[in-house]
A and B are shown apart, each in its own frame.
Chain A
Amino acid sequence: MTLHVELVSPERVVLDTEATMVMARTLGGGDIAFMTGHAPFLGALATHTLTIFMADGSREVAAVHGGFVSVTNDHVRVLSDMAELGSGIDVARARAGAQAADEAARAGSDTEAEAALRRAQARLSAAGVTTS
């Protein structure tokens, strides 16, 4: 038995695959993982990475910037405004973005800059780069 996972952004279906486990972080700040037979669930996602353990043993990491996860009958649907697969992220650009956001957050520390920083960090960790 596997989970059917769909990662959907407004512009397209980013990922449609079979997986054994999906790990996400909800708006409350806690991580949650779904495996087969999970009770129906609906949650709002935080800006964080989404880890999908594929049926073939490999692992796919995606950056999601807000959004929702719904689980029904071993069908996991992740809806996100912005969802990027780790493999599709331009690390150099993400790093530059993180730096700019970091500086902006330090200078003004407004919510916008902090959100941008969180997005940049999610993007970087999805791409497999560890952030300090």
Chain B
Amino acid sequence: MAGGQERILRRRIKSVESTKKITRAMELIAATRVVKAHERSSMARPYAEAMTSVILDLVQAGAAKEHPLLQKHEGARSEAILVVTSDRGLCGAYNSTVIRLAEQEIAARLAAGRDYTLFVVGSKAQTYFRFRGYDMAEVFLGVTDRPDYDHARAITAAMVPRFESGEFEAGVLIYWRFLSAGAQQSVVRRFLPLEVDEGGTGGLGGAPMPSADLEYEPSPTAILNELLPRYVEGRVFSALLDASASEHAARQRAMKSATDNAEELKLSLSRIMNRARQDAITTEIMEIVGGAEALGSDRGSKTSLMPESLVPRHLFSQNLDPSDPSAVRH
């Protein structure tokens, strides 16, 4: 009966409402996290920039470029692929996009008759690749929510020695680049081997021109050899920071649209509910009027049953929700 339907609708509205509260809270949390993650990546920038300019100085000073990180390992059959995803979902297409990119990269390697070695950050990619039977060399969890430098160091430590020993021809990073809170970009970046362009504009970005005639201790080559492994760590670290900021931004967006959807659903549900209630009231009036009519025709007197005494406002005031504007129409 109509009253039952109304109760069901009321329950659904309540559940949508509480879901909305949760998604709204998550949206706000994600919003503050975006800001924090962005701050962290801007705090990390001076280090990366200083390091780049130091490397350029060294290269200009004629440091020997025989460090294994700078070598192409032509004979290697495999390439290292590092995919950065999140540990938690509820962030829209964030994870599926990078995973799809990674799958394309892998397929391209396999089609060319080459091999891949997969390094994975985040449980989302882990589950995906495990389910589909991909080989994963190493998995890092609990990183992307708030990456710190030790994470970058651990990841680099897992990849770089194998690269240096000539196992990989190259290394690529697949992650979301954070441009602003409103714009992110999924990218595939080569980060191994490092490419040093003596023109000073190439692979290491546009740094200021180096100052001439530096003193070096111990020697340019020794410093460069110390520096390059850290540079790789820095690259991985900034990728992790970008990925983290993008993840939070993606979650904020996903939760915002969930909140909006809940709001919309609530509105249409309460319309349906009001209609159902109206129908129930109409039916009840009809029944009463019909019953009274039947009684009245028995007695032969209709004066006591004039419509004035049947004003719904008077009879059904307890059924009317005073806070509900749609009920006033009735």
User: B-contacting residues of A (Cβ < 8 Å)?
Assistant: 6, 8-13, 26-28, 32, 39-44, 66, 68, 70, 72-73, 77, 79, 81
Q: Which residue from chain B places its CB closest to the CB of A66 in the assembled complex? A: B226
What is the CB-to-nearest-CB distance from A97 to chain B, in angstroms, rounded to a whole number?
Answer: 15
- Whether the Cβ atoms of A42 and B58 lie closer than 8 Å is yes
- Whether the Cβ atoms of B216 and A42 lie closer than 8 Å is yes
- Whether the Cβ atoms of B50 and A77 lie closer than 8 Å is yes
Majority-rule SS of B interface residues: helix
**Total A-B pairs in contact (CB under 8 Å)?**
86
Q: Which residue from chain A places its CB closest to the CB of B39 in the assembled complex? A: A12
- Whether the Cβ atoms of B44 and A10 lie closer than 8 Å is yes
List residues of chain B with CB within 8 A of the CB of A70: 50, 54, 57, 214
Q: Which residue from chain B places its CB closest to the CB of A13 in the assembled complex? A: B46
In the complex, A5 Cα to B46 Cα: how many Å?
A: 13
What is the CB-to-nearest-CB distance from B304 to chain A, in angstroms, rounded to a whole number?
Answer: 86
Q: Which residue from chain B places its CB closest to the CB of A69 in the assembled complex? A: B217
Q: Which residue from chain A places its CB closest to the CB of B226 in the assembled complex? A: A44
List residues of chain B with CB within 8 A of the CB of A41: 214-217
**Interface size class of chain B, counting residues whose CB lies under 8 Å from the partner chain:** 20 to 34
In the complex, A9 Cα to B45 Cα: how many Å?
A: 10
6 contacts between A and B (CB under 8 A): A8-B50, A10-B234, A11-B43, A27-B222, A41-B214, A68-B54
List residues of chain B with CB within 8 A of the CB of A12: 40, 43-44
- Whether the Cβ atoms of B149 and A26 lie closer than 8 Å is no
List residues of chain A with CB within 8 A of the CB of B153: 81
Q: Which residue from chain A places its CB closest to the CB of B51 in the assembled complex? A: A79
- Tell me, yes or no, whether B320 is within 8 Å of chain A by CB: no
What is the CB-to-nearest-CB distance from B132 to chain A, in angstroms, rounded to a whole number?
Answer: 35
Task: Tell whether A6 pairs with B46 under 8 Å between CB atoms, given A11-B40, A40-B213.
Answer: yes
- Whether the Cβ atoms of A43 and B217 lie closer than 8 Å is yes
- Tell me, yes or no, whether B124 is within 8 Å of chain A by CB: no
In the complex, A99 Cα to B153 Cα: how many Å?
A: 25
List residues of chain A with CB within 8 A of the CB of B218: 26-28, 43-44
List residues of chain B with CB within 8 A of the CB of A77: 50
- Whether the Cβ atoms of A10 and B227 lie closer than 8 Å is no
List residues of chain A with CB within 8 A of the CB of B148: 11
List residues of chain B with CB within 8 A of the CB of A27: 217-218, 222, 226
Closest 7 CB pairs of A and B: A43-B217, A12-B43, A40-B214, A10-B149, A41-B215, A44-B226, A8-B47
What is the CB-to-nearest-CB distance from A7 to chain B, in angstroms, rounded to a whole number?
Answer: 10
- Whether the Cβ atoms of B54 and A10 lie closer than 8 Å is no
Q: Mark B183-224, 1 if CB is under 8 A from A, else 0.
A: 000000000000000000000000000011111111010110
What is the CB-to-nearest-CB distance from B228 to chain A, in angstroms, rounded to a whole number?
Answer: 12
List residues of chain B with CB within 8 A of the CB of A11: 40, 43-44, 47, 148-149
What is the CB-to-nearest-CB distance from A113 to chain B, in angstroms, rounded to a whole number?
Answer: 17
List B85-115 residues whose CB lies under 8 Å from chain A: none
What is the CB-to-nearest-CB distance from A15 to chain B, in angstroms, rounded to a whole number?
Answer: 12
- Tell me, yes or no, whether B116 is within 8 Å of chain A by CB: no
* Extra inter-chain contacts (6) besides given A40-B211, A40-B215, A77-B50, CB under 8 Å: A10-B48, A11-B149, A13-B43, A42-B215, A44-B217, A81-B149
Q: Which residue from chain A places its CB closest to the CB of B48 in the assembled complex? A: A10
List residues of chain B with CB within 8 A of the CB of A72: 211, 214
